[in-house]
Amino acid sequence: MTDLRIQIGNIEFKNPIFTASGTFGYGNDVPDFVDVSKLGGIFTKSITLHPREGNPPPRIVETPSGMINSIGLANVGVDHYMREMVPSYSTIGTKIIMNIAGSTLDEYAEIIRKMESISSDIVGYEINISCPNVKKGGMEFGVDRSLTAELTKILRSLTERLLIVKLSPNVTDIAAIATAAEECGADAVSAINTVVGMSINPTTWKSNIYTVFGGLSGPALKPIGLAAVQKIFHSVKIPIIGIGGITGSLDVIEYFLAGASAVQLGTVNFQDPSTGERMIDELETYCKDVSIDSISSLVGKVKN
């Protein structure tokens, strides 16, 4: 049998298939036909200090090879999340990583302080410093090496749980930002968040997104995500979680070869939220076919 287990920091995951933030709710509200216990883990949608309604509609539009969204971090806020969602995780059967977003360093820190003040089954935090759809915060941190460093350092001092910094592709040098996160104590980085995009209605001459720009996700992102992972792989030693355009198990293999130790599935969940569980069997078959005992042995093995 192939060993699909992977390790990030001091946490072992039963397999490397995770769901991406914003595409699988809070993990406790998925349809009955999805067996979340098969997944390696679930990354929640971004949670902020205060509840957010997000951006006005239209905030999602389809494009030929993906979608553009400008949800604007709509979420219930950390207090509601702690009260209503966190207790359900004790029986969920997989690991939960809470994704957090903020407009200031203090906001990110306050969320972690609140979370650390309660007992919970959350194994870690993914720090969204890469949201292109909010006016303040988010990507402001992710495009700045020293802000990324400062934020990571502060959050590292507040928790011993996994700290995973989620990187933006909308930068000149993603590896430099990853290095800053690693140097300041991140256990892993995840890459990539969406790429800034736009879609125009040729009849009305208006943008199809209220906020004009949005974040492009889906198959169009895979080559960008792979390049990002490969660049980061040459710069850091911590694990990389590959994200962007994954729809099938062979996409996962490509991400591993580029340097990812695990992956997240995003947009594909809107087509079929059970894609992840199906992929797990397919990955086992692939590894058997190429005579590999452990999926981790594929990490970074692209032949350049």
Ligand X SMILES: Cc1cc2nc3c(=O)[nH]c(=O)nc-3n(C[C@H](O)[C@H](O)[C@H](O)COP(=O)(O)O)c2cc1C
Q: Which parts of this chain interact with ligand X (CB under 6 A)?
A: 20-23, 45-46, 67, 69, 71, 73, 99, 128, 131, 166, 193-194, 217-218, 221, 243-246, 265-267
User: How many Cβ atoms sit within 10 Å of the Cβ of residue 105?
Assistant: 16
Cβ at position 192, least distance to ligand X in Å: 6
Cβ at position 128, least distance to ligand X in Å: 4
Q: How many CA atoms lie within 13 A of 7 on its CB side?
A: 4
- The residue among 50, 171, 144 whose CA lies nearest residue 102 is 50
When CB distances to ligand X are compared, the closest residue is 22
Q: Which is nearer to ligand X, 217 or 249 (CB)?
A: 217
184 is catalytic: no
Q: Which is nearer to ligand X, 71 or 181 (CB)?
A: 71
CA 254, 25, 51, 71 dihedral sign is: positive
Q: Which is nearer to ligand X, 180 or 243 (CB)?
A: 243
Cβ at position 293, least distance to ligand X in Å: 28
Contact 190, 126 (CB under 8 A): yes
How many Å apart are CA 87 and CA 85, to the nearest integer? 6
Cβ at position 122, least distance to ligand X in Å: 16
**H-assigned helices in 92-221:** 105-116, 139-142, 145-156, 174-183
Q: Which is nearer to ligand X, 197 or 295 (CB)?
A: 197
Cβ at position 27, least distance to ligand X in Å: 13
Place of tokens 């679930």: 42
CB neighbour list of residue 12: distance below 8 Å, 6 or more residues apart: 5, 6
Q: Which is nearer to ligand X, 21 or 94 (CB)?
A: 21
Catalytic-labelled residue, pool 131, 139, 155, 186? 131
Burial class of residue 31 (count of CB atoms within 10 Å of its CB; 0-12, 13-18, 19+): exposed
Contact 229, 255 (CB under 8 A): yes
H-helix or E-strand containing 217?
strand 214-217
Active site residues: 131
